[in-house]
Amino acid sequence: MSSTPHDSFFKDVFGPGKKHLPSLIPLIDRSLASRIDISSLEYLPGESIAEDLAHSTRSDLSASLLLSGARIDGEDARIAFIFEHKSSLPHHIHIPLLSLVSALLSRDLREGRKPCPVIPVVLYHGRAPWTLPMRLSEALELSPELAPRLPDFELTLIDLSRFSDEALRESIAHPEPLVSLSVMKHIFESPESVLGHFVRLIKNLSPPRDILKRIVDTTLHYISHAKRHHHPQEIRTIFTTFLAEEKMTTVLDLLKEEGRQEGRQEAQDKDITRLLQHTSLSPQEIASILEVDLSRVLSLADSNSSVRNGKTPEK
């Protein structure tokens, strides 16, 4: 099981059955991506190589996903990509990745196939800048005399902090992986900052309603769990405030449907209160945006006004 909300979100979006993992390839090398038939890539089942790895090694690679079977320039080219997600600096990451590369090569030999090239890729979006060695020989601090005599490889790094928001939009066409990576890039900012970015992004992309609902559900869940020091309702309320300010009624409708299903009248009252306190919207506009009775908004407005004036609201 993934140990962090970041790992869980990564697998929710890019795991088997989602078909989004190949969208990471342009972030590795756009020229290579243009030559690969993305539809030819297939997920490798992790269970088939698990027997070759110690339990401790597998746990270090809890967020690894694999692709293989690419066609490059129209020709079959057996090649495997290992995608390992990390939200903090992964010291000694070369060792478990080397174990996984070795397991894949050993499986090919065991099954009578020529071993295929394996490319380990680390997707990183931690708070700290990436400062770790790229080559295994550098991580082991080998002398120039020893380095050529031992197995060595260089990590392929996708450091989201090195991509501008515009560069991500240019590299990734599908809205779901684009939004996901962009939010992961900004996730360690304040809730207001990451939620504001999230809202502006989905507003500009305007994905179809079914995709929009999936994006909102998974991403809001991720942000709520990643911001452990903030109550999920606080995250939802901040999100609703931005939506109201941007007049994004479709997403507000999705949230209202969810609220009706879960009986969240209290949550809606908090949304109304926050809009009254932190926006210039009139009670009439709030009632129209949230599709609630104006009398309910006015009642909450009166209660907030009484509290600000030092009075106890009548019950």
| Tokens 């869940």 belong to residue | 221
* Amino acid 307: pLDDT: 45
Mean pLDDT of 254-272: 71
> What is the pTM for the complete model shown?
0.76
Least confident of 83-87, 228-232, 233-237, 257-261: 257-261
Mean pLDDT of 11-40: 80
Please give the mean pLDDT across all residues of the chain: 82
Q: d(Cα 266, Cα 272) in Å, to the nearest integer?
A: 10
Locate the domains of the chain by residue range: 1-162, 239-308
End-to-end CA distance of the chain: 49
* Amino acid 123: pLDDT: 94
- Long-range contacts of 195-201, Cβ-Cβ distance < 8 Å, separation of 24 or more: 195/223, 195/235, 195/238, 195/239, 195/242, 196/242, 197/165, 198/223, 198/239, 199/239, 199/242, 199/243, 199/246, 199/248, 199/251, 200/246, 201/165
Q: pLDDT for 102-138, tens place per residue? A: 888 888 888 898 888 888 899 999 999 999 999 999 9
